Amino acid sequence: MDLDGYMRALPKAELHLHIEGTLEPELLFALAQRNGVRLRYPSVESLRKAYEFEDLQSFLDIYYEGAGVLRTERDFHDLARAYLQRAHADGVRHAEIFFDPQTHTSRSVPIEAVIEGLTTAFREAEKEWGLTTKLILCFLRHLSEEDALETFDRARPHLDHIAAVGLDSSEKGHPPVKFRRAFAKAKAEGLGAVAHAGEEGPAEYVWQALDELKVSRIDHGVRCAEDAALVERLKREKVPLTMCPLSNVKLRVFDSIEKHNLKSLLEAGLRVTVNSDDPAYFGGYVLDNFRAAQSALDLLPEDLAALARNSIEASFLPKAAKAALVAEIEALKP
């Protein structure tokens, strides 16, 4: 098997994926037409051309605008189905998927339509492809904690569909501690917790996510490298980092993939994983991220197997399901 076939065949879990970030321009235009939404771009090509970002905020502005075409349960189903089909083709066996309810409820789209649409597609993917999923409800950190608490109350009747809460959107100036009560409430209901930290924000936000929000994974976390004591802690406590190399280059966290610290942190013994973040905007799905990291950082087959194993072990899957997938990884020869 060549290296590309090996990367595809490795059983992988995708743990950092915003479903709204999988909205490809073609589907965006089709949904705009279906829902009678006027767009300020004349064509798919002109929209794609606008995907040049200076930083996280310049991306988020266009990402929230794009999400405006998502109106009905069917739209959320079609969005999730398209992603899951693509993930299946990349050898993703399990996906833990973020959604941003506030982006939709603020436009009067009921949270029920969002959750029903997504979970219908999830059930189809499991039945047709054996691809399992979990749903993670993210709070938008640029909004208030009161808004997050209200959102959690709206989600309360649907908690059987939700595995964990997360924290995303504009990082700078919005420290994790702002959401301490919202995370405590979610944890009291038995949900897991993850948070974006150390993407654009400082290493201090990673400490806060661990200590104040009690998260079990850090999304991105690349800026941990600026704090040796933090790196030591992440290693000691085996805290997974859900890294997204193509995203980090598109949003100028690193100048190039060659400069990405994924390999050095993997070699330092951290539980690094590879993910796609917002693939429709950043130029690649999970296998594209593996390919880019492999060639730029000269990752060896054992590095690739470690990344895949880390993703399975860092997931919220039950022990037996993890063991079965890890055994498949061990048995796969490059």
Are 205 and 198 in contact by the 8 Å Cβ rule? The answer is: yes
d(CA 182, CA 149): 6
Rounded to the nearest whole angstrom, what is the least distance from the CB of residue 114 to ligand ADE in the complex? Answer: 16
**Region 47-106 residues binding ligand ADE, contact defined as CB under 6 A:** 56
Q: Least distance from C-beta 281 to ligand ADE, angstroms?
A: 8
Half-sphere exposure of 39 (CA within 13 A, CB side): 25
Closer to ligand ADE by CB, 281 or 316: give it: 281
Judged by CB under 5 A, does residue 20 bind Zn ion? no
Query: Cα separation of 177 and 202, whole Å?
Result: 13
Q: Alpha-carbon distance 99 to 276, whole Å? A: 14
List 119, 169, 242, 261, residue binding ligand ADE (CB under 6 A)? 169
Helices (H), the chain: 3-9, 25-35, 44-49, 56-66, 73-89, 101-105, 111-129, 145-155, 180-188, 203-211, 228-236, 245-250, 262-267, 279-282, 286-297, 301-313, 319-331
- Residue 65 CB, nearest approach to ligand ADE (Å): 13
Type of residue found at 7: M
Question: C-beta of 243: minimal distance to ligand ADE in Å?
Answer: 11
Q: Which of 228, 242, 233 is nearest to 194 (CA)?
A: 242
Could you say which residues in the range 8-37 bind ligand ADE, by CB under 6 A? 18, 21
Report which residue's Cβ sits closest to Zn ion.
277
Binding residues for ligand ADE restricted to 198-217, rule: CB under 6 A: 199
Say which of 20, 199, 200, 212 is annotated catalytic.
199
Min. distance of Cβ 33 from Zn ion in angstroms? 28
Q: Name which of 119 and 169 has its Cβ closer to ligand ADE.
A: 169
Tokens for 115, please give them.
Answer: 């959750």
Residues 177-196 that bind ligand ADE (CB under 6 A): 196
Considering the complex, what minimum distance in angstroms separates the CB of residue 189 from ligand ADE? 23
C-alpha gyration radius of the chain? 19
Residue 277 as a binder of Zn ion (CB under 5 A): the answer is: yes
Which residues in the 97-156 window bind ligand ADE by CB under 6 A? none
Of residues 71 and 208, the one with the C-beta less far from Zn ion: 208
Q: Which does 90 bind (CB under 5 to 8 A by kind): ligand ADE, Zn ion, none?
A: none
When the beta carbons of 16 and 81 are compared against Zn ion, the nearer one is 16
Q: Virtual CA dihedral for 213, 55, 299, 95, nearest 10 degrees?
A: 50
Q: Is 45 a catalytic residue?
A: no
Which of these segments, 129-137, 206-214, 251-259, 277-285, binds Zn ion (CB under 5 A)?
277-285
Is residue 23 within 8 Å of residue 280, measured between CB atoms? yes
Asked if 99 and 77 count as a contact pair (C-beta separation under 8 A), the reply is no
Q: How far apart are CA 73 and CA 49, in angstroms?
A: 29
Closest CB to ligand ADE among residues 90, 168: 168
Residue 6 · residue 86 · CB < 8 Å: no
Largest distance between two CA atoms of the chain:
53
Residue 21 binding partner per list ligand ADE, Zn ion, none, with a CB distance cut-off of 5 to 8 Å that depends on partner kind? ligand ADE
CB nearer to ligand ADE: pick between 86 and 309: 86
The residue sitting closest to ligand ADE, measured at its beta carbon, is 168
Site for ligand ADE in 229-288 (CB under 6 A): 247, 277-278
So which residues are the catalytic ones? 199
Residues of this chain that bind Zn ion (CB under 5 A): 277
